[in-house]
Amino acid sequence: MTAQVSPRKAPRQSRSLATVKAILDATAHILIEGGFAAVTTNAVAERAGVSVGSLYQYFPNKDALITALHARHGEQMTAVILRALTKAMDATLDDALAGLIEATVEAHRIDSALHCVLELQLGAMDKAWPEEEYVGVMEERIVALLAHHRAVITTPDLKLAAFMLMHSAHALIHAVVLERPKGVSLKAATQEIVRMLKGYLTQPVSA
Amino acid sequence: MTAQVSPRKAPRQSRSLATVKAILDATAHILIEGGFAAVTTNAVAERAGVSVGSLYQYFPNKDALITALHARHGEQMTAVILRALTKAMDATLDDALAGLIEATVEAHRIDSALHCVLELQLGAMDKAWPEEEYVGVMEERIVALLAHHRAVITTPDLKLAAFMLMHSAHALIHAVVLERPKGVSLKAATQEIVRMLKGYLTQPVSA
Amino acid sequence: MTAQVSPRKAPRQSRSLATVKAILDATAHILIEGGFAAVTTNAVAERAGVSVGSLYQYFPNKDALITALHARHGEQMTAVILRALTKAMDATLDDALAGLIEATVEAHRIDSALHCVLELQLGAMDKAWPEEEYVGVMEERIVALLAHHRAVITTPDLKLAAFMLMHSAHALIHAVVLERPKGVSLKAATQEIVRMLKGYLTQPVSA
Amino acid sequence: MTAQVSPRKAPRQSRSLATVKAILDATAHILIEGGFAAVTTNAVAERAGVSVGSLYQYFPNKDALITALHARHGEQMTAVILRALTKAMDATLDDALAGLIEATVEAHRIDSALHCVLELQLGAMDKAWPEEEYVGVMEERIVALLAHHRAVITTPDLKLAAFMLMHSAHALIHAVVLERPKGVSLKAATQEIVRMLKGYLTQPVSA
DNA sequence: TATGAATGAGCCTTCATTCAT
DNA sequence: GATGAATGAAGGCTCATTCAT
């Protein structure tokens, strides 16, 4: 994002970027360790090694802090998944699903603690990040993917199928990453999810 | 829940019960209307028609209030679902799944607003309700149900299957109750969930 | 205002009244000593001998504090002046003016320091007290008084005359109370004001 | 004010002067538009088109800023009035008074908004401008003027008369410029003030 | 000299909790 | 037991002022 052409001006810019990063990282840490209630502007500033004043130079208020963190995290995850979606277009349905789930699992492992806390605690604010926008994009892409494999899919309504896929997969991946039952490997669990989705999509019509 | 036979003691006890109920109801209302931030002990007490002092007679602190509400809600939901589980033991797998999902959907509709808020905003506290205990019980019962239908189920690991079932069903029911895609009836959505689960459990092994 | 019939409940009420009074008095003291900038809610509460919390039990915010002080002061002053105006209706023009000015001087001496600070510093807020209401009433009463003495007054426009009277008298009284020139007694100054007003009202038309 | 002949040094000096002017102008604008509370050093600097750092190069602190603005404004007004006073020495008492009042009215109209805000909100600081010095000078000049017309003035104490004149005239002009009663023209109001002062100064002794 | 990011003391306000009545 | 006024710690945020560049 930052073209490093002018070596003279870069430090300035990167100082700001570094500060913003430090603040968001501090927010994430405190959010994970102490929950939403522990995220105070003073605590964040202190942990980030800056003054409250600086925090307010980059974020207009406390909510913006959480929102920005959410956005950053969401973008990271979305990027991973969308990349997988793109790749999936050139594969068999089996491989597409497997690639997608594996990528999503991977995305969730990036910062699973943060992901969990954000998902659980962000409702405490009047939803701020345009999550739905990204979700909408993903839904469309998944519908496209399914349409691409229309031939082998028995489910009639692809949009409904995408809805079912997204929600069940998300919940399962969450559960698997955070509280996988003993004795089950992450790999096995991932395969089981793929198996479930595959079964759902290609289920004999009469069933 | 506790039928008091003695006419002398009942009023006292029921007074307390009534007050506790009023307080929890008030908490629920405020939580739904104004979110977690709106739940202040004073607001709850006022809405419940009692003094803050009285609130502190029944709940040692604010967290206990939320925890109790959570517990009450959880018990209500669990009761509905466990009842369905019991009934399901005497039905075909299809009917068992249908009954279970329908019951869960129904349970979510009891007080979906509260359920949503609790699930979304309760992470804000260090999880207090012994949710896992109930979840554990339910998991066991589901495993038992699956075992009962072992013959028609192709999934080898029933514990893993129960895990998959619970999480995907929960997420889907949530999504369906709260943000069902346009053009899809609640009934259709419910049937689709059943179809998915059935497909998963009875999927041809080779697939 | 507070009918002291029930000796049981009175203490409660008077406790509140006493607290409110203490808070307003503290505000006045701090305002006089340190100016508007020194009036912080914490400082006021401390000086009043109560907690900030209590301050906020009686005043919704800092501005309300200043507004209330202004109102209390304004009411005190207005009462004194209106009483003099009533008396003045039954006197000669000379005595009426003298009585009025003397009463106003007296009113300004009630708490001249506070009066001064309020007048100077209240513009700092978006005018809160309905001062204009009282001023309007006074203006009407003065016009009435002048009309009563119409015979000896040469100024044609009584409303304009009232305007001139009020503003010049107010400014002069202020100046006289706060920074009377050396060698001039308060009494002499007061008489001089009366003389000026009398001269204005009864000035020969040709002049 | 300081004409710089040297073409080499002038730019420097005038740069400073221009900057100071810009800063004071910005302060005035903000003070008028947003009141005392809106005057922050950052806001002033931004509006003036300079950095806060530069602001602090010319003014040691915020108070100095306000003080300087007050001084500048006071000097402008005083200049206008003193000029009128000088002219008035060569006129009849009537013309002298009329000229003086008209000049003062004019002076108040130069920047009545600023004048108003300064007068109202400046009490918020520990009066900083040596207003009294200027006031003292004016008082002396007015006494001189009155002495010049001693023959037609019946008021015995000229110093007291000057005091009365200044304060009543100032208050009336203020009132007239800012809240003149409906139906009264500025000219008529000005004449009425002159009439009042004339009446006061030349009032028959017995009255 | 000019700049403006950084600082941090301190302000207003809220709210969980207590305790005298 | 019930009450609710009182408490005061703590949080979000502002802004005068400084100082490295």
Q: Which chains touch C (3 or more CB pairs under 8 A)?
A: D
Q: Smallest CA–C1' separation from C65: which nucleotide?
A: E12
Give the CA D105 to C1' F19 distance in Å: 47
- Within 8 A of C173 by CB-CB distance, chain D residues are none
For residue D120, name the pLDDT band (cuts at 50, 70, 90).
low
Per-residue model confidence (pLDDT) at position B122: 64
Q: How far is B137 from chain A (nearest CA, A)?
A: 15
Per-residue model confidence (pLDDT) at position D201: 95
Angle at C176 between CA C172 and CA C182, to 5 degrees: 135
Per-residue model confidence (pLDDT) at position B133: 74
Q: Which of C127, C186, C203 to mutate to test the interface with D (most CBs of D within 10 A)?
A: C203
Residues 44-103 of C with CB under 7 A from strand E: 52-53, 56, 61-63
Distance CA(A25)–CA(C24), nearest Å, equals 47
Q: In this structure, what DSSP letter does residue C47 have? A: H
Q: Is A136 exposed, middle or buried (0-12, 13-18, 19+ CB in 10 A)?
A: exposed
Q: Smallest CA–C1' separation from B39: which nucleotide?
A: E15
Backbone angles phi, psi at C180, to 5 degrees: -55, 135
Angle at A144 between CA A143 and CA A148, to 5 degrees: 115
Distance CA(D149)–CA(D121), nearest Å, equals 38
DSSP chain A: ------TTTHHHHHHHHHHHHHHHHHHHHHHHHH-GGG--HHHHHHHHTS-HHHHHHH-SSHHHHHHHHHHHHHHHHHHHHHHHHHHHTTS-HHHHHHHHHHHHHHHHHHTHHHHHHHHHHGGGS---S-HHHHHHHHHHHHHHHHHHTGGG---S-HHHHHHHHHHHHHHHHHHHHHHPPTT--HHHHHHHHHHHHHHHHH--TT-
C170 in contact with chain D, both atoms CB, cutoff 8 A: yes
Task: Give pairs for A76-79: CB < 8 Å, separation 24+.
Answer: A76/A107, A76/A110, A76/A111, A77/A107, A77/A108, A77/A110, A77/A115, A78/A134, A78/A138
For residue C146, name the pLDDT band (cuts at 50, 70, 90).
very high
Which among A163, A174, A189 is the nearest to B181, CB-wise?
Answer: A163
Distance CA(B164)–CA(B200), nearest Å, equals 9
Higher pLDDT, A7 or D11: D11
By C-alpha to C1' distance, F14 is nearest to: A53
Per-residue model confidence (pLDDT) at position A9: 41
Task: Report, in ranges, which bases of strand E sit under 7 Å from a protein C-beta.
Answer: 1-20
Could you tell me the pTM of the whole model? 0.86
- Closest by alpha carbon to A120, among B124, B112, B66? B124
Cross-chain residue pair A196–B36, CB shorter than 8 Å = no
A158-172, B77-91, C2-16, D161-175: range with lowest mean pLDDT = C2-16
Per-residue model confidence (pLDDT) at position C188: 92
Per-residue model confidence (pLDDT) at position B187: 92
Which helix (H) or strand (E) is C72 found in, with range?
helix C62-88
Cross-chain residue pair A181–B199, CB shorter than 8 Å = no
Both tokens assigned to D88: 């008035």
Mean pLDDT of C78-98: 91
**Are residues C145 and C197 in contact, defined by beta-carbon separation less than 8 angstroms?**
no
Per-residue model confidence (pLDDT) at position B182: 85
Distance CA(A189)–CA(A181), nearest Å, equals 9
Distance CA(C165)–CA(C181), nearest Å, equals 22
Per-residue model confidence (pLDDT) at position C60: 97
Q: Give per-residue pLDDT as tens, D51-92.
A: 999 999 999 999 999 999 988 988 888 888 889 999 988 999
Q: How far is A77 from chain B (nearest CA, A)?
A: 19
Per-residue model confidence (pLDDT) at position D173: 92
For residue C4, name the pLDDT band (cuts at 50, 70, 90).
very low
Higher pLDDT, C122 or D123: C122
D144-155 b/e with 16+ CB inside 10 Å = b? Answer: ebbeebeeebeb
| Average pLDDT score, chain C | 86
Q: Positive or negative, the Cα torsion across D58, D63, D65, D70? A: negative
Cross-chain residue pair A164–B193, CB shorter than 8 Å = yes
Yes or no: domain B14-202 corresponds to CATH 1.10.357.10: yes
A28-37, C12-21, C139-148, D192-201: range with lowest mean pLDDT = C12-21
Task: Report, in ranges, which bases of strand F sit under 7 Å from a protein C-beta.
Answer: 1-20
C171 in contact with chain D, both atoms CB, cutoff 8 A: yes
For residue C165, name the pLDDT band (cuts at 50, 70, 90).
very high
Residue B2 has a CB neighbour count (10 Å cut-off) of: 7
C178 in contact with chain D, both atoms CB, cutoff 8 A: no
Residues 14-43 of D with CB under 7 A from strand F: 37, 39-42
Residues 13-32 of C with CB under 7 A from strand F: 15-16, 19
Q: In this structure, what DSSP letter does residue B36 have? A: G
Residue A15 has a CB neighbour count (10 Å cut-off) of: 10
List chain B residues with pLDDT less than 70.
1-14, 120-132, 206-207
Distance CA(A195)–CA(A93), nearest Å, equals 11
Give the CA C33 to C1' F15 distance in Å: 24
Give the rounded percent of residues in chain D with a pLDDT score beyond 90.
54
Distance CA(A35)–CA(B67), nearest Å, equals 16
Both tokens assigned to D171: 């208050």
Return the SS3 of B118.
helix
- Would you list the domain boundaries of chain B? 14-202
Per-residue model confidence (pLDDT) at position A8: 42
**Are residues A166 and A139 in contact, defined by beta-carbon separation less than 8 angstroms?**
yes
pLDDT digits (tens), chain A, 207 positions: 333 444 444 445 567 889 999 999 999 999 998 888 899 999 999 999 999 999 999 999 999 999 999 999 988 888 999 999 999 999 999 999 999 999 999 888 878 888 888 876 666 565 555 666 777 888 899 999 999 999 999 999 999 999 999 999 999 998 998 888 888 999 999 999 999 999 999 988 764
Backbone angles phi, psi at A42, to 5 degrees: -65, -45
DSSP B52-87: HHHHHHH-SSHHHHHHHHHHHHHHHHHHHHHHHHHH
Which among C181, C195, C202 is the nearest to D159, CB-wise?
Answer: C181
